[in-house]
Amino acid sequence: MSRLIFLGPPGAGKGTQAAMLAAELSTPHVSTGEILRAAVSGCTELGMKAQSYMDQGELVPDELILGMVRDRLTQPDTKSGWILDGFPRNVSQAKFFDELLVAIKQAYDRVVNLEVADETLVTRLLGRGRKDDSEDVIRNRLAVYREQTAPLIDFYHNRHQLVSIDGDQPIEDVMAAIRQVIVP
């Protein structure tokens, strides 16, 4: 069983690696960005509230995210494991998550931190062509990452559960490095 948190800047390959690993381990891949994009396409209330933040590369407010994650992690398929990608995104989400895990009697095994240099991130994101991948939005997402998400590296490092991996390698090599550090 695996319960993993993927951390890293936008464009580090979290989504790609989390999806590959999830398929390999038959564990649900929980991407908050994907849940939000589906909500936007489905014109749900959540989607309508979240869209403007996403379009600008800002974080969607915690009050919309926390209930969404709680709902997802209390569905039956995530009982025996999950791979989280895109959450937590700031320290208050991480603290909420600690409480949620206690409440649902679960714990994460590892936090996988993918490291990639800024220049590579911008090139990768520009090549991806998602709606929020224009250059100014990308720059904002990187700034938001640095200010709000990067502090989670210390947050989890202090608990000795963080493993950092060089994400600036071919996809298969990153995958191989991740396989070596996760609890099977």
Give the C-alpha separation, 49 to 99, whole Å: 25
Q: What's the longest Cα–Cα distance across the chain?
A: 42
Binding of ligand AMP at residue 11 (CB under 6 A)? no
The region of 31-39, 41-49, 70-78, 159-167 touching ligand AMP under the rule CB under 6 A is: 31-39
Q: Which is nearer to ligand AMP, 87 or 155 (CB)?
A: 87
Min CB(164)–ligand AMP separation in Å: 19
In angstroms, the first-to-last Cα distance of the chain is: 7
Backbone φ, ψ for residue 71 (5° rounding): -60, -45
Element (H, E) at 143: helix 135-144
112-151 footprint of ligand AMP as x/- string (CB under 6 A): --------------------x--------x----------
Element (H, E) at 91: helix 91-103
CB 112 within 8 A of CB 165: yes
39-58 footprint of ligand AMP as x/- string (CB under 6 A): --------------xx--xx
Residue numbers of the site for ligand AMP (CB under 6 A)? Answer: 10, 32-33, 36, 53-54, 57-60, 65, 86-87, 89, 93, 132, 141
